[in-house]
Amino acid sequence: MAECSIPNAATLTGWRKSSYSDSEGASCLEVLDGYPVGVPVRDSKDPHGPALLFAVGAWRAFIVSVKAMPTV
């Protein structure tokens, strides 16, 4: 994957927040499913800012690791 970011994440549509996010605008990440080359991730407080682009395998490994963490 040559490109590691998308300079203006607002150019893409279909972003989703985690179901664990609250509605009070706290710090959140948004993910875009179905992007052809990787998984874009952006800061919900800065929708016109950049999105980082992760390889699908790396993103899956991250999600598996997070789900395996004990809850506090």
Please indicate, yes or no, if residue 52 is contained in any of the structural domains: yes
Please indicate, yes or no, if residue 23 is contained in any of the structural domains: no
Report residue 63: phi and psi, to 5°.
Answer: -60, -45
What pLDDT, on the 0 to 100 scale, is given for residue 18?
Answer: 76
Closest CA to 42 of 68, 71, 5, 69: 5
Q: What is the pLDDT of residues 24-68, one digit of tens each?
A: 666 788 999 999 999 999 998 899 999 999 999 999 999 999 889
Residue-range definition of the domain harbouring residue 58: 5-18+28-68
- What is the pTM assigned to this prediction? 0.81
What pLDDT, on the 0 to 100 scale, is given for residue 1?
Answer: 54
Please indicate, yes or no, if residue 41 is contained in any of the structural domains: yes
What pLDDT, on the 0 to 100 scale, is given for residue 57?
Answer: 95
Please indicate, yes or no, if residue 62 is contained in any of the structural domains: yes
Q: How confident is the model at residue 2 (pLDDT cuts 50, 70, 90)?
A: low
The domain tally of the chain equals 1
